[in-house]
A and B are shown apart, each in its own frame.
Chain A
Amino acid sequence: DAKTTQPPSMDCAEGRAANLPCNHSTISGNEYVYWYRQIHSQGPQYIIHGLKNNETNEMASLIITEDRKSSTLILPHATLRDTAVYYCIVRLDSGNTPLVFGKGTRLSVIA
């Protein structure tokens, strides 16, 4: 089972920041937090990942709390094309450990 808890759905106005929360209170020291999204039935698209420091790339920012028990994915200026299901996944940094997907958060960006 997934080790993360996410709200089932969220809305965001186009052009505003979308802040997607994730709880992972049982995360262990060598587990990374990964974010993926899935648009319609396309393949999951990698967004960003981190261990304990905040991370930023061209798509998003990842804010991880100091105790690592929760994180927030930030899409700084949401567009209609960001409408998707967003998955927060905790994965052990070891060997070939697979990703365990939960139900994610369905983000609807509204014009």
Chain B
Amino acid sequence: EPEVTQTPSHQVTQMGQEVILRCVPISNHLYFYWYRQILGQKVEFLVSFYNNEISEKSEIFDDQFSVERPDGSNFTLKIRSTKLEDSAMYFCASRIGLSNQPQHFGDGTRLSIL
């Protein structure tokens, strides 16, 4: 069964450094998402992406964050200058075209900021 894959599984970065989290969505999916989950807290929406542009973003997704689909298969989340509070699990999700169809999630990247 096709699945969303995320790399790396764990990323450790010094505060202030840039980090790029990578996702390969399911191949025929058209909608892409990033969520995050701080340890012990709820899963929170960051951003959605369709047709090469951001569709929606939450208050969390400030100027430090950006997303890109550089080559038609990868979907990346970049954090420009990481802060301690960016430490979290980051989940990528994708969905096929029909709006009521479910989002499918990857297993996440654990980001640890030192």
Q: Jot down 30 A-B pairs with beta carbons below 8 A, ordered by A.
A: A32-B100, A34-B102, A36-B105, A41-B89, A41-B110, A42-B107, A43-B4, A43-B93, A43-B107, A44-B43, A44-B93, A45-B105, A46-B104, A46-B105, A49-B100, A49-B102, A93-B100, A94-B99, A95-B55, A96-B48, A96-B55, A96-B99, A97-B56, A98-B33, A98-B48, A98-B56, A98-B58, A100-B45, A101-B43, A102-B42
Q: In whole angstroms, what is the CA distance A101 to B99 when docked?
A: 18
Report the interface size for chain B: residues with CB under 8 A from the other chain.
Answer: 27
Report the interface size for chain A: residues with CB under 8 A from the other chain.
Answer: 24
A44 touching B105, Cβ below 8 Å: yes
Q: Is A75 part of the contact surface with B, judged by Cβ < 8 Å?
A: no
Which residues of B have CB within 8 Å of A98?
33, 35, 45, 48, 56, 58
Q: In whole angstroms, what is the CA distance A51 to B102 when docked?
A: 13
B50 touching A96, Cβ below 8 Å: yes
Q: Is A103 part of the contact surface with B, judged by Cβ < 8 Å?
A: yes
B103 touching A99, Cβ below 8 Å: yes
Taking CB as reference atom, which chain B residue is nearest A47? B102
A101 touching B100, Cβ below 8 Å: no
Q: Is B44 part of the contact surface with A, judged by Cβ < 8 Å?
A: yes
Which of A45, A51, A94, A96 has its CB near the most chain B CB atoms (within 10 A)? Answer: A96
